[in-house]
Amino acid sequence: MPTGTAEQRLVGLADLVVEAARKKRDPEIEIPVRALSNVAFNPKKRIIEMKDATQARSLFNLGMARKFMQTMLVADALAVLQREKLTTSLREIYYRTKHTLRDSTENTFDAQDESDPIIEDIEVALAALREELQVAAEGRGSIVGNVVLVDDGDAIDCTRAGKSGHTVPSIVEEPGIRIRKCAADFVLLVEKATQFNRLSEDKFWKRHNCVLVTGNGQPPRGVRRLCRRIHDEWKKPVYVLVDNDPWGYYIYSVVKQGSINLAFESQRMAIPDAKFIGLSSYDPEKHKLPRNVGIRLTDKDVSRAKEILAYPWFQKKEWQREIRNMLASGLKFELDALANKDFRYLTTDYLPRKLKERDWLD
């Protein structure tokens, strides 16, 4: 596994190519395969890990020459960021590395969907997160509650962040972001901004001494990493609140075990101790929600649920029972459906009862 600073690892990548050229060999780099076939669930660590399969990307292989060139262009741009101590976006990397090859009409990149996967390839090849390489995505998350962050030297007291909360940046690593204090009892990671806004407006975080975080859907890497840091550095439990559907189960799975596509980052992103606090397929009956606020499962929902049933990390009998019960009901329920009881039912009844009864899935 490559060692040293991010800049040293990038330079090492270039050195491999230079050395091959000096020896008149075909320059090539080894890229770990990012596919389901190259990941495995580690039951001891309770995370998804990448296995050892790699693919050689070489210059003189006609089928790989373009990707080899793209990889070296992106690596060079990333090295410039390290030397100049700058941060940039995925979009700017695309434009920085895009040009037309001399004496041709061929572009190095035709669209950003070509350059983004190259960055992921470099991440896994160098064992360095994109954020360590100084590449940021758009901030897509909010945090409010009893935690103080230090952002580039400025203290951010998240109890004073207003109803909308403080925006979670894409890069949440030290030294840029430090967690100065966390006096909360737990972290509540909420799937939807709608429920985050309700909980924040009702000061749920104050009444139950917690930190509220949302990623507005599938939580982006910055949100997942910040929750992991609070969990690790301040020993705070993390609860995940999502819709009762296969996609909610999957979001929880990514938070807890890691992503199949980005298994190389599970060691620092996944939170194996995270708990699923709802919405459970048994909650509509417990909380007397009428069936007419449920949504009929589509064929796609059923297919996805059956896939999830087969995942090794969902083999616990409690999870098999949970997912099969949803399939048997033929319905899925959004968290928004709790408003059928009362607009504040989520904050005044549902979550307090869940916490009191320790009604969650692991």
Catalytic residues: 95
- C-alpha dist (Å) from residue 193 to 81, 140, 189: 33, 10, 11
Nearest 5°: CA angle at 67, between 61 and 70? 130
Nearest 5°: CA angle at 186, between 282 and 260? 65
- Would you state the structure tokens that stand for residue 177, as one six-digit string? 């972001």
The span from the CA of 46 to the CA of 266, in Å, is 10
For tokens 């041709």, what's the residue?
104
The span from the CA of 3 to the CA of 218, in Å, is 31
Based on DSSP, count helices (H) and strands (E) in the chain, helices before strands.
14, 17
| Strand, coil or helix: 173 | coil
Q: Which of 227, 140, 226 is nearest to 188 (CA)?
A: 227
The span from the CA of 221 to the CA of 208, in Å, is 26
The span from the CA of 107 to the CA of 163, in Å, is 46
DSSP states along 86-113: --EEHHHHHHHH--BPTTSS-BS-SSHH
Q: Which of 256, 246, 251, 240 is nearest to 295 (CA)?
A: 246
For tokens 């609860």, what's the residue?
239
Q: Across-strand partners of 244?
A: 333
| Strand, coil or helix: 164 | coil
Q: Which of 100, 116, 118 is nearest to 108 (CA)?
A: 100
Q: What are phi and psi of 147, to 5 degrees?
A: -145, 145
